[in-house]
Amino acid sequence: MTGDTLGLLLNIDEKYLSFSLNGECLPSYDDLFQYSSGGYFAAASFMSYQQCEFNFGAKPFKYPPKGTLFKTFNDYGTMTDEEKKILPRHMRLNLIKNFQVNEDSCTICFAEKASHKLVPCEHGGFCFKCSLQLETCPMCRTQIHERVLSESSRSRTASDSAEDQSADKDT
C-alpha cells in the first residue's frame, strides 16, 4: 500500500531472512540459504508505475529490527558519489540511446563483430571467441556441433577483399 515501509533483516550467520511490514514481523524465511551462501544484492521488482525508496542506512530506520543487533548495508558498502546516482527511467533511457552500439556487434561481448552462427540451430550474432565458450545455444539451448562463419559476414569479407583488390589496381 502507498506509504508502507517494508523492512528486511538478513542474518547470514544464522541463515534466515526476516521481513517486516510497518514494523510488524512477517514469518521468517530461510529457503534462500538452500540455494546460495553469499553474494546478496538488494533488489525489488515493480510494475512500471510503482516506485519505492530504498534506505540502506543513509537515514535512521523508521522501524529498526527489534531484539537483535544489526548493521546497515551502508556500514559495509562503499560507493563513489557517481555510483550512488540512480537516474529516473526516462533519463537513463536517454543516456543509453546516446551510447552507440554497432548493430553487428556480438550479442555476448559487444566488442567483436558478430561473425559466426551455430550449427545445427543456425542462431547467429556471436563472435568466434564467444561462440567457442558456448556449449549450447543461448537462444534455443540446442547442443552446438559447429560454429561457422555466417553468410552476412562471409559476403562482407568477400566485398571487403574486392575493394582491397580494386584499391591495389588504383595504386
Binding track over 41-80 against Zn ion, x by CB under 5 A = ----------------------------------------
Residue 109 to residues 69, 129, 152, Cα–Cα distance (Å): 44, 9, 19
Q: Does 123 bind Zn ion (CB under 5 A)?
A: yes
Is 7 or 125 the residue whose CB approaches Zn ion more closely? 125
Q: Does 114 bind Zn ion (CB under 5 A)?
A: no
What's the angle, vertex CA 27, arms to CA 22 and CA 32, rounded to 5?
110
Residue of the chain from 10, 87, 109, 162 that contacts Zn ion (CB under 5 A): 109
Q: Does 132 bind Zn ion (CB under 5 A)?
A: no
Q: Report how far residue 142's alpha carbon sits from residue 145's, in angstroms, rounded to the nearest whole number.
A: 9
Q: Report how far residue 67's alpha carbon sits from residue 157's, in angstroms, rounded to the nearest whole number.
A: 69
| Segment (H or E) for 10 | strand 6-11
List residues near Zn ion by CB under 5 A.
106, 108-109, 112, 121, 123, 127, 130, 137, 139-140, 142
